[in-house]
């Protein structure tokens, strides 16, 4: 027999379906991480470890023998490529005319100061001039005279960097010096290996945490970082992260997380001395050379090479060309150090994953879903988002 119930006029009564809750935590396509540590020989015997890549920024003096340092005659630096990273004004060039940016007169670098686009791509609004008496001249159809007046008064300037035509061509004739660390022994130490492990890209954050947990180093110090990469579902979502609204939300939530995890605390209270020495608080306050506070998403977005613009708390390396010659399409978080407590590093990975998702899903705070505090976007930030979206429209 049918299980349907009927009302007094013999019409079946159907149960109302619960409203479908839009899924959360689905905005991230892939997540991966780079972890910098020291791995002891005993630790390396536990598993078949992935490649540990040498990184000159990671130092462990207590695992380097004095004889190794004294035997170095400097020849290991003979073929250094420091000039690739030279960014002094003397070596700056325009990639179009190969002249100094100060002397550049390329049309490709001529920028409208109003909209910061190339003058030929200017999208500033052309308005009817007050003195114009042409009755047919209107907002939607500005007359030639008004257009000419706009062009004559348009503020233009040559800006190689903003137009993506800025680079460096160092011929070792400037004041820059080689900053290579001795790598005679590569990442080998007297009792293990020093460097970084780069994880695969995972769809599930828990798989990444299991990977990091398995291969975490024996020891970390102030030179070790935890770099987390995420890719999101589409470019529009990515560019929503390129706003000050997300940056502010990210930093506020990370600071709350740090207090919750008692980082720099002593006997339940934030200790000023411990906070001053803490690598995390130094990075959060922009006091680390490889993790400054400057927020430059547009500049990073245009970059296709690993240059110094990546040394920020957030690195929008969307167009970075990887080893497979494909664009990276990821957002890199460089804020976290490799914590001595492995569990805190795993918590940091989960935190960044959750923050990106909660920000992109903030319009989906339906009933029945655990709400996460969300920042409001004001009018100026909404305008900034539109500018960011226009930025990559021709890519």
Beta strands in 41-189 (DSSP E): 92-94, 110-112, 156-158, 166-168, 188-189
Co-location of 215 and 162 in the same domain: no
At residue 188, the pLDDT reads 62
At residue 154, the pLDDT reads 74
> Which candidate, 199, 241, 200, places its Cα nearest to that of 357?
241
First-to-last alpha carbon distance for the chain, in angstroms, is 62
Q: What is the pLDDT of residues 351-362, one digit of tens each?
A: 999 999 999 987
Q: Which of 168, 184, 208 is where one domain is finished?
A: 168
| pLDDT block averages, 10 residues each, the chain of length 395 | 53 48 66 94 90 84 56 50 59 76 82 77 68 71 76 78 72 55 56 90 94 94 94 92 95 95 88 87 91 93 88 93 74 96 96 94 48 48 54 45
Dist CA 231 CA 205 (whole Å): 12
Residue 221: partners with Cβ closer than 8 Å, 6 or more residues away: 38, 59, 60
Structural domain span for residue 208: 28-55+195-391
Q: Which of 168, 185, 208 is where one domain is finished?
A: 168
Co-location of 102 and 225 in the same domain: no
Residue 325: partners with Cβ closer than 8 Å, 6 or more residues away: none
Q: What is the dihedral of CA 96, 97, 98, 103, to 10 degrees?
A: -120
At residue 175, the pLDDT reads 56
Q: What is the pLDDT of residues 122-151, one digit of tens each?
A: 767 666 666 777 777 776 677 877 777 777
Number of separate domains in the chain: 2
At residue 370, the pLDDT reads 38
pTM value? 0.61
Distances (CA, A) of 388 to 318, 320, 363, 391: 13, 17, 20, 5
On whether the CB atoms of residues 240 and 360 are closer than 8 A, the answer is yes
Q: Which of 132, 153, 168 is where one domain is finished?
A: 168
User: How many C-beta neighbours within 10 Å does residue 342 have?
Assistant: 16
Instruction: Cite the DSSP H helix spans in 98-218.
Output: 144-153, 205-215
Co-location of 216 and 300 in the same domain: yes
User: How many C-beta neighbours within 10 Å does residue 39 have?
Assistant: 24
At residue 256, the pLDDT reads 95
Residue 16 lies in a domain: no
At residue 181, the pLDDT reads 53
Co-location of 273 and 349 in the same domain: yes
Co-location of 214 and 264 in the same domain: yes
Co-location of 162 and 202 in the same domain: no
Co-location of 131 and 207 in the same domain: no
On whether the CB atoms of residues 49 and 39 are closer than 8 A, the answer is yes
Co-location of 254 and 345 in the same domain: yes
Residue 76 lies in a domain: no
Partners of 336 in the β-ladder = 226
Dist CA 6 CA 194 (whole Å): 74
Dist CA 203 CA 262 (whole Å): 30
């Amino acid at each position: 027999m049918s299980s349907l119930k009927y009302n007094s006029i013999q019409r079946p009564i159907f149960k109302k379906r619960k409203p479908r809750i839009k899924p959360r935590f689905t905005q991230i396509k892939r997540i991966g991480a780079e972890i910098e540590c020291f791995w002891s020989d005993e630790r390396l015997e536990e598993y078949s470890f992935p490649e540990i890549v040498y990184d000159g920024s990671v130092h462990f003096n207590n695992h380097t023998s004095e004889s190794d340092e004294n035997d170095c005659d400097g020849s290991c630096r003979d073929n250094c490529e420091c000039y690739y990273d030279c960014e002094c004004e003397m070596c700056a060039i325009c990639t179009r005319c190969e002249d100094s940016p100060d002397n550049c007169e390329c049309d490709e670098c001529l920028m409208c100061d109003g909209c910061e686009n190339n003058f030929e791509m200017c999208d500033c609004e052309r308005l009817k001039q007050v003195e114009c008496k042409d009755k047919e001249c209107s907002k939607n159809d500005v007359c030639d005279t008004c257009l000419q007046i706009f062009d004559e008064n348009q503020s233009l300037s040559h800006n190689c960097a903003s137009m993506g035509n800025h680079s460096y061509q160092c011929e070792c004739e400037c004041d820059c010096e080689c900053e290579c660390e001795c790598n005679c022994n590569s990442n080998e130490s007297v009792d293990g290996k020093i460097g970084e492990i780069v994880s695969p890209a995972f769809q599930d954050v828990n798989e990444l945490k299991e990977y990091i947990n398995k291969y975490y180093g024996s020891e970390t110090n102030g030179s070790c970082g935890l770099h987390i990469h995420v890719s999101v579902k589409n470019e529009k979502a990515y560019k929503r992260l390129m706003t000050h609204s997300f940056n502010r939300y990210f930093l506020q939530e990370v600071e709350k997380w740090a207090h919750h995890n008692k980082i720099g605390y002593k006997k339940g209270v934030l200790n000023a001395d411990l906070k001053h020495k803490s690598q995390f608080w130094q990075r959060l306050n922009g006091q680390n050379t490889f993790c400054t506070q400057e927020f430059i998403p547009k500049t990073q977005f245009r970059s296709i090479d690993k240059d110094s613009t990546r040394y920020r708390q957030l690195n929008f390396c969307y167009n970075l060309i990887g080893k497979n010659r494909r664009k990276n399409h990821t957002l890199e978080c460089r804020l976290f150090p490799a914590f001595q407590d492995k569990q805190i590093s795993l918590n940091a990975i989960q935190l960044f994953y959750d923050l990106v998702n909660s920000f992109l899903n903030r319009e989906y705070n339906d009933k029945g879903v655990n709400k996460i505090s969300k920042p409001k976007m004001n009018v100026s930030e909404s305008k900034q988002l539109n500018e960011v979206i226009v930025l990559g429209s021709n890519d």
